[in-house]
Structure 1
Amino acid sequence: MDISTGVVLAAGEGTRLRPLTRTRPKPMLPAAGRPILEHVLDVLVDCGIERLCIVVGYRRERIQSHFGDDFRGVPITYVHQKTQLGSAHALEQAAPVVDGPVLVVNGDRVIGEPIVDDVRTAFDGTPTLAAIEHPTPSKYGAVEVSDGRLRSFYEKPAPSAGPFSHINAGVYAFDRAVFETIERMPRPSGELQLPTVVETLLENKAVHAVETAGLWVDATYPWDLLAVLRELLEAGAVAIEEREPQVWVADSARVHEAATLQPPVVVGPDAEVAAGAVVGPHVAVGRNVTVGANTTVRDSLLDSDSRADVGSILCDCVLSEAASVGPGVAVPGGPGDIRVGDDIFEQQRLGAVIADRATVGGGATVTDGALIGVGATVAAGVVLEANVADEAEVVR
């Protein structure tokens, strides 16, 4: 049964990625020089999807203004999930605007074309999902599959629950009957998630599960964005033409002849890399970014309009939109223990997150995976070892 419509669930904030998601939804966070959601739409269009429905919610204007009415000539319809009440509730919002069967994917997770193709090919009207091997199934929805059918489904099981090898990849195919199922289901907590719907469908009838493989990367916490970047660069999932093996430089970028680009690395449009700078490996330099002279950037993501000034050193760092670090700033990198809310995550590879419009003054040092909030200011010469709230100022 052919599927021509793709529904993309992109309404959530991604609270565990704060402060990066204070100003935009998780699907619009950068991944190898462009938003995560753009990678997702690329795959759907490459797989032959002819109509796109994007379910938007939190800071939806960031998505709608970026993509407009179509993507690569494929029309987009936007549906607003006014209150984030789960992934099944998000899909339910699309019911009035889609006809026939739908392919459903998450807009905040990069997936490979083979995964989508395999689900589309296997779909015969029976609910179908993609199952992929994963080293840590307990973080996601573990599944048991045999003979092309889903046998059991365990939503984020404890590691002791069993020897699982496959997870639910979050790529589904449904006919329109799924909307009737969602409408009938109880919602004691007010929310309804798609895995719960799949469990209900499994009780009542067969659910197909396609064992597949391909690129599948997810960011749950800020340091995961660096892991996503590494995966995408290694896979060559970059929209800019390759200048030399694993070195992608936009035509409008300016890279000084005395600068060094160490692969894999991508330099976006209108970016500038000055003389003596060493950039890479595993670095994405976004649109209109400035990398100053004699600056070193390694295993880092520099988002659009950000600036790393002369002689700075950034390792395992996320420099977000319009953020800047002054001359001689040092972010030596992880691993270290990172506090997110009330939780401490030990030995994570993250030097720092410097959120939108935040500034770090010249000669400062940032350690221990500090999360510097939106619009915050760290004065020159400060040694920072703790998180900084949005709009806060840290002085000597």
Structure 2
Amino acid sequence: MTIDKAIILSAGQGSRLLPLTANMPKCLIKIDGKAILDHQLDALKAAGVDHNVVVGGYRFEKLAAHVEARNDGTSVRLNPFWLAASSISSVWAARDLLDGDFALLNGDTVYATDLLAKGFAACKPGLNLFVQPIAEAELDDMLVEVEDGMVRDVGKTLSPAQARYRSLGIIVGREDKGLYRAALDTVISREGGILNFHHAIVAEIARQDGVHAIVVDRDDWIEIDRPEDIAAWHDRRA
């Protein structure tokens, strides 16, 4: 399938990576000599996605300068509420793009170049979440409960006995007619809604309309939260 546009959520500082993020956003940390963001944009290009938007916040000026230097048509948007709200506020900053065919990606994840293209090809009409089967949950995993190929629930506090998958932080809408945007409005309008991780939107749709689980049973990807994650990626690629 062809994805018209991708939104990369890159507003946070990444305080657990200090001092690496003392003066730059997390997405600009270099992995294998290349910024996390560049890994993602190159993977999106390989998957045929030409319209990419990066939502930033912390050290926004450095993010904007980096994207401008790429000169590949990627644009940036500011989430001015990044410090007071959770990742759902970055989704809100790009809510006008959330229809038709789109991809939402966490801005702190590195993966093999072909992972996106293969995952996109497996997506079905409606909402899709990339997940990986796990034997044991790790710290900060966004856990996912899957049954008969469908996501039943998503959250960091789910029971590991039932939630046997983790999210890759890649959400794809295909032929979406406003379902995801409507769920965003519902979740963010609740009391304390701005404090939700954006996966709460996926959970909302999973309970109401259904979300397809795109199973990625491979280890050539990693979420970069701590210095040891960088070391772990290097070990995998060695």
Shorter-chain TM band: 0.7 to 0.9
CA displacement at 1:111 relative to structure 2: 2.0
Match of 1:226 in 2: 231
**Partner of 1:199 in structure 2?**
203
Name which of 169, 179, 182 aligns with 2:181: 179
Distance 2:11 2:166 in 1: 23
Q: SS of 1:40's equivalent?
A: helix
Q: 1:167 to 1:191 in 2, by over 3 A?
A: same
User: Any conservation in 1 of the 2:2–2:48 contact (CA below 8 Å)?
Assistant: no
SS of equivalent to 2:124: coil
1:213 to 212, 217, 221: 217
Aligned to 1:22: 22
Letter in 2 for 1:188: G
Shift of 1:136: 4.0
Amino acid at match of 1:54: V
Superposed displacement of residue 116, structure 1:
1.9
Kept in 1, the 8 Å contact 2:28–2:37? The answer is yes
- Structure 2: how far apart are the matches of 1:96 and 1:189? 19
Deviation at 1:122, TM superposition (A): 3.0
SS at match of 1:22: coil
- Please tell me the residue identity of whatever aligns with 2:100: G
Q: Which ranges of structure 1 fall in alignment gaps of 5 or more residues?
A: 235-396
| Cα offset, 1:87, TM superposition | 2.0
Measured after TM superposition, the shift of residue 168 of structure 1 is 1.0
Return the offset for 1:22: 1.1
Is the CA contact (8 Å cut-off) linking 1:119 and 1:129 kept in structure 2?
no
State the match for 1:148 in structure 2.
149
Contact 1:5 1:98 in 2 (8 A): no
Alignment of 1:150-165 (within 5 A): 150-157=151-158, 161-162=160-161, 164-165=163-164
Quickly say closer, same or farther: Cα 1:189–1:200, change in 2 above 3 A: closer
1:321-379 residue CA offsets vs partner (Å, 9 max, x unmatched): xxxxxxxxxxxxxxxxxxxxxxxxxxxxxxxxxxxxxxxxxxxxxxxxxxxxxxxxxxx
Q: Give the C-alpha shift of residue 189 in structure 1.
A: 5.8
Which segment drifts farther, 200-209 or 163-172? 163-172
Tell me the SS of whatever aligns to 2:154.
strand
In structure 2, how many angstroms separate the alpha carbons of the residues matched to 1:56 and 1:101? 22
SS of aligned partner of 1:110:
strand
Give the SS at the match of 2:196: coil
Q: Name the CA shift for 1:193/1:163 in 2 (closer, same or farther; >3 Å).
A: closer
Match of 1:167 in 2: 166
Higher relative contact order (CA 8 A, sep 6+): 2
8 Å CA contact retained: 1:122, 1:128:
no
Q: Secondary structure at the match of 2:81?
A: coil
Give the alignment of 1:290-305 within 5 angstroms.
none
* Distance in 1 between residues matched to 2:69 and 2:125, nearest whole Å: 29
TM-score, reference length from structure 1: 0.53
Distance 1:53 1:220, change over 3 A: same
**Equivalent in the alignment of 1:188:** 192
Mapping for residues 241-256 of structure 1, pairs under 5 Å: none
Q: Larger radius of gyration, structure 1 or 2? A: 1
Structure 2: which amino acid aligns with 1:173? V
Q: In the alignment, is the contact (CA less than 8 A) between 1:114 and 1:213 conserved in 2?
A: no
Higher helix share: 2
Residue 82 of structure 1 corresponds to 80
TM-score of the pair, normalised by structure 2: 0.85
Deviations 1:140-195 (A, max 9, x none): 1222324321133342446xx41654211111112343122212221416323222
Letter in 2 for 1:83: F
Deviation at 1:119, TM superposition (A): 3.5
Moved >6 Å (runs of 4+): none
Give the whole-Å Cα distance in 2 for the aligned partners of 1:183 and 1:49.
26
Output the CA distance in 1 between the equivalents of 2:118 and 2:153.
20
Percent same amino acid at aligned positions? 23
Give ranges in structure 2 of 5+ residues lacking alignment: none
Aligned ranges for residues 33-182 of structure 1 at < 5 Å?
A: 33-68=33-68, 73=72, 75-84=73-82, 85-96=85-96, 100-134=100-134, 136-139=136-139, 140-157=141-158, 161-162=160-161, 164-174=163-173, 175=176, 176-182=178-184
User: SS of 2:8's equivalent?
Assistant: strand
| Distance in 2 (alpha carbons) for counterparts of 1:187 and 1:41 | 35
Q: Which amino acid is the alignment partner of residue 65 of structure 1?
A: A
| Backbone CA RMSD of aligned residues | 2.3
CA distance in 2, matches of 1:55, 1:105: 10
Structure 1 counterpart of 2:25, one-letter code? P
